[in-house]
Each structure stands twice: as C-alpha cells, then as structure tokens.
Amino acid sequence: MEYRKSMENILQYVFGKNSIEDVGVALGVLLGMWFGFYLFRRYIVRRLNKLAQNSQYQVVRFVTVGMRSITAFFYFAISLAVAAQFVVLSPSITKAMRAIVMIVIVLQCIRSVQSLLATFLDTLSKRGNATNQQAARGTFVGIQFIARIALWSIGLLLILSNLGFNVSSLVTSLGIGGVAVALATQNILGDIFSSFSIYFDRPFELGDLITVGSDTGTVKNIGLKTTRLQSLQGEELVISNRELTSSRIQNFKKMEMRRVMLSIGLVYQTSLDGLKTANSLIKDAIMSDKKVQFDRCHFKEFGASSLNFEAIYFVLSNNYYDYMDCQQVINFKIKESFDKAGLNMAYPTQTIFFGNSPSETPSSV
C-alpha cells in the first residue's frame, strides 16, 4: 500500500504545469505514433510499392508515390503535435509549435504534389514511340518548372500568412511584378506555351518533313522556345514555337500517298491514231508500276505548240525518294514506248505564214 501510494504521489508531482503522469502519457503517445508511422512506412508502403510495379492501374502507382514522398520528419512533427495535446504548454511554445507543424505540412504538400506531377508527366512521356518520348521530355521540363514556381509561391504566402504577416501588400506587389515580368518576357512565354500546344496538339513530330512558309525541312528537335529543322539543302533552320503555332504547316509525313500530275505534249503533226496510241501507252506505263495507283489519262487540250495530255496517278508511299523514283521509272517507260511508236514530243515552236493577199496560198517558214 505504501509503495502504491508513493508511486501515486510521484505521478502527481507537478513538473511545471504538468504532472509526471501527463508528461509520461505525452511521451508514450509520441513514441507510439512514431513507431506506428515507422511500421507503416517500412511494411505498408513497401508492399504498395511492389504492388504498383506489377499493377496495370496507374492509381495504385500514384498512391504509392504519394506515400513514399512523405518524409520521416513529417511523421515526427505530426506525432509531436498530437502528443502536445496531452500537456499544458506556455502560449509562446504552443504558438511556435503550431507554426513549425504548419510549415512542415506546407513543405510536405509541396513535395508530394511535385512528386505526383513528375510521375504523371513521366507516364505521359512514355506513351507513343521513342521520338515522341524525346520531344515530351523537353516540354515537360517546362511544365515542371512553372509548376514548381507556382507551388513554392503559394506555399511561401501560406507560411507568411500563418506566421502573422500581412501578405496583402506582398500579393499586390507580386501581382504588379508578375505583370511587369510577363510584359518583358511575353515573347519567351509565348514560345514556351506554344511548345505545350505543339506537344498536346501534335501538328508534327520528330522526323516529320514539314513546310512552314517557304521553308521545308525535317524536324530534328522540339524545344521549349524553338523548333529545329534540317532543310533539304542540309542547313539547320531555327524557328520559334510561336511562329509555328501561328503559321500554316504542311506535314508530308501525314500523307498516305503522293499525287502526281503528268503533262505531256505531242507535235501537231501527230495523227488521230497516234494520239489514241499515246493515251494507251501513257496509261500502260503508269499501270505497269506496282508502287503507284492509276487515276486517269486524257487528251486534254490543243496547246499553243503541242497536243497536250494530262495523266494523274498516286505514289503509294509518303517517302519523297519513292515519289521521285516512281516518276523516273514511269517517265523512262513513256519515252521508250513513244520512241518505238514513232511519236514525237513537242517543244515550243512558232510557224509564220507569209502572203500578199487572201487569194494567195501562203508559204511557211
């Protein structure tokens, strides 16, 4: 009985404004929660991480990333804040502890959002082929940079506001400063946001042959500010992203086939049978090539110095070299067949007739 009574007296001993029993309960809560968080982080989060690696659901991966981004200091701060509820602290200590916990929570939220955003952008960048992934990385670096600035700005304002500072004037100053910076860097910001538009809208990709205005080239790099093309002559063309999004772009890689319009003129001395033969020879030369699709061939018109034919066919490839090779092969066949048939192609000529009166038969030169 005496031992029990002495223990009760010890527990009721007041340490500051708290008894030893209250301090012991607070310490027990602190250690218990800290140990519970340790077990959660060591076993539960690790199991979720293994599950996320083998899961086809991205939600599991995002949850795991959010859990892993939580630091041990955050767990300790939460445990300390809960344990402090079991003891009586001075107003200054209570205020300081609340400020510390609030700062830790804000910093942890920023860290978690950054980790989730990075995971989300990484998931998007892995979609599509290797060229799309390479282009996406450059664009997503800009998105992460802008998001990081926004998160830290908001976090700083929250921290200062909870510490008792008047942030109204600061917000106003940041607003005015933001407008000034935006006006000074509007061209750069325009190019950066245009790069986002290029990635999400995908008017072209790396390796595409495009024409912008009078410039034609293959896309080699899509950056935050500029896109680089290699022209047909071999030099590098650097075009701002804002100019690309505001211009009309011809993307030749999007074509499934290339259209060819072939014009051939025969001399006026060609007979009617010769014209019919020429029509058949042109058609046969085109249809003999398995890489093209014949559309039509017609005796089109009586030209100034030739009898003109027009033929239309499609090269079944979007490759420019295939396009030129097929035209060359067909042109060779047409020339060869015309030579065998005795058909002569026309070239610009002019015949002048002289006569003294309408009744005389003119002579030609």
Beta strands in the chain (DSSP E): 14-15, 18-19, 209-212, 215-222, 226-231, 236-240, 249-251, 258-266, 292-302, 307-315, 353-354, 363-364
User: What local confidence, expressed as pLDDT, does residue 176 receive?
Assistant: 67
Highest mean pLDDT among 14-28, 206-220, 257-271, 349-363: 257-271
Does the pLDDT value for residue 170 go beyond 70? no
Does the pLDDT value for residue 273 go beyond 50? yes
User: What local confidence, expressed as pLDDT, does residue 7 receive?
Assistant: 47
- For the chain, what percentages of helix, strand and coil (3-state, to nearest 5) are there? 60, 20, 25
Average pLDDT over residues 239-244: 86
| Nearest partner of 349 among 304, 287, 293, judged by Cα | 304
What's the CA angle centered on 113, arms 112 and 118, to 5 degrees? 100
| Bridge partners (DSSP) listed for residue 298 | 310
Count CA atoms closer than 13 A to 17's CA, side-chain side: 6
Q: What is the pLDDT of residues 11-57, one digit of tens each?
A: 454 555 666 777 788 888 888 888 888 888 777 777 777 776 666 66
When comparing pLDDT for 238 and 129, which is higher? 238
Average pLDDT over residues 306-317: 94
User: What local confidence, expressed as pLDDT, does residue 204 receive?
Assistant: 84
Highest mean pLDDT among 133-147, 157-171, 326-340: 326-340
Does the pLDDT value for residue 60 go beyond 60? yes
| Bridge partners (DSSP) listed for residue 230 | 218, 236
Cα distance between residue 129 and residue 136, in whole Å: 11
Domains and CATH numbers, the chain: 1-125 (no CATH), 128-254 (2.30.30.60), 258-341 (3.30.70.100)
Report the sign of the C-alpha dihedral through residues 63, 66, 69, 74, in that order: negative
When comparing pLDDT for 337 and 69, which is higher? 337
Mean pLDDT for all residues in the chain: 80
Give the whole-number percent of the chain exceeding pLDDT 70: 79
Q: What is the pLDDT of residues 82-99, one digit of tens each?
A: 888 887 777 888 888 888
When comparing pLDDT for 146 and 247, which is higher? 247
Cα distance between residue 4 and residue 85, in whole Å: 28
Cα distance between residue 219 and residue 132, in whole Å: 12
Highest mean pLDDT among 62-76, 160-174, 215-229, 309-323: 309-323
Average pLDDT over residues 147-165: 80
Does the pLDDT value for residue 307 go beyond 80? yes
Average pLDDT over residues 280-284: 95
Does the pLDDT value for residue 250 go beyond 90? no
User: What local confidence, expressed as pLDDT, does residue 6 receive?
Assistant: 52
